Amino acid sequence: MVDKQEMKAMIVSILEEMTDPSSTESATKVVEKPINKQEEATVKEATEEVLEDITQIDIRKQFLVPHPADREGYLKMKAKTPARLGLWRSGPRYKTQSMLRFRADHAAAQDAVFSYVSKDLIEEMDFIEVATKCKDKDEYVTRPDLGRQFDDENIATIQQQIKGTPQIQVIVGDGLSSAAIEANIKEILPSIKQGLKMFDLDYDEKAVLFIKHARVPAMDKIGELTKAEIVCYLIGERPGLVTAESMSAYLAYRPIVGMPEARRTVISNIHSGGTPAVEAGAYIAELVSKMLQHKKSGIDLKEVE
């Protein structure tokens, strides 16, 4: 039998072992000691240095296969595709660096969808802000029907703010990537304006609408409300892992609710790695002038060209 004293001593010793790492050394001594020593030797204050930005690595050139049969041939073939090739493995799993890069790219894509265009940008650009009937991002991604409709209050705002019947009405919509708007809008708007000048055309930069929770067909309702001749709609695309900053421009001649999709003219893939914003702006201006000339858009415009 263990008496009370002994029991107490035992409890004390167990508690000690649980809280004091030095008393548990016996079993793991051999392993722990050198590690501790090494730690002592290398413990340093955090420095101001920054780790390399893994998202800046060019995937087409990144090559992790240790002993390839033909390194040069591999790199040549890899340069032909944006696919994540030649990144090797640990066991059957991914290398840490390629796994982290994948996660970083996915994080950027998700953040682009579920974040909002900053208030500062909307103010700075002097946009007139309205919203569709979606109450939040969740409803936005699950209810495509609501992302094209406006309530009475927003309709009133649009009707009050857009005076007369504009020849060219510019709209900006967050769509599926707020990052796309943040990345491209400041460059593309002046470029469109500049481009339009060449055709003696213009749009009112004080009357640019910004739509929160916007789907593409929202432009049709704006067309009806403003009676604009051309609606030019810049909207964030569904992001992929290659870029989260891709924007599209949808243009239509006198769009109306329920019109066929084929009446839209679209320029997609507007981002620094695709069609740069400045270039896209010039192209949009040219399209606008053609649409005004032919009074058509989409497939109808293609047919007359």
Max Cα-Cα span within the chain: 105
Q: Mask: binding to other proteins, 189-228, rule CB under 8 A, as x and -?
A: ----------------------------------------
Least distance in Å: CB of 47 to other proteins?
Answer: 32
Residue with token string 């707020």: 178
# residues contacting other proteins (CB under 8 A): 44
Residue 28 structure tokens: 């793991």
Nearer to other proteins, 47 or 96 (CB): 96
Render the burial of 88-110: b for 16+ CB within 10 Å, e for the rest: eeeeeebeeebeebeeebeebbe
Q: Binders of other proteins among 43-82, rule CB under 8 A?
A: 65, 67-71, 73-74, 77-78, 80-82
Contacting residue, 176, 270, 280, 291, with other proteins by CB under 8 A: 176
Contacting residue, 128, 155, 225, 241, with other proteins by CB under 8 A: 241
Contacting residue, 141, 155, 282, 292, with other proteins by CB under 8 A: 141
How far, in Å, CA of 18 to CA of 248, rounded? Answer: 61
Q: Binders of other proteins among 93-122, rule CB under 8 A?
A: 93-94, 98, 102-103, 105-106, 109-110, 112-113
Nearer to other proteins, 113 or 162 (CB): 113
Nearer to other proteins, 232 or 244 (CB): 244
Contacting residue, 9, 35, 83, 198, with other proteins by CB under 8 A: 83
- Is residue 133 within the footprint of other proteins (CB under 8 A)? no
Nearer to other proteins, 195 or 239 (CB): 239
Residue 255 structure tokens: 């769009």
CB 285 within 8 A of CB 196: yes
CB 230 within 8 A of CB 167: yes
- Is residue 142 within the footprint of other proteins (CB under 8 A)? yes
- Is residue 272 within the footprint of other proteins (CB under 8 A)? no
What's the first-to-final CA gap in the chain, in angstroms? 103
Give the Cβ contact number of residue 31 at 10 Å: 9
Under 8 Å CB-to-CB from 147, ≥6 apart: which residues? Answer: 132, 133, 134, 140, 213, 214, 215, 218
Give the β-pairing of 209-212 and 230-236. unpaired
Which residues make up the interface to other proteins (CB under 8 A)?
Answer: 65, 67-71, 73-74, 77-78, 80-89, 91-94, 98, 102-103, 105-106, 109-110, 112-113, 141-144, 176, 238-242, 244
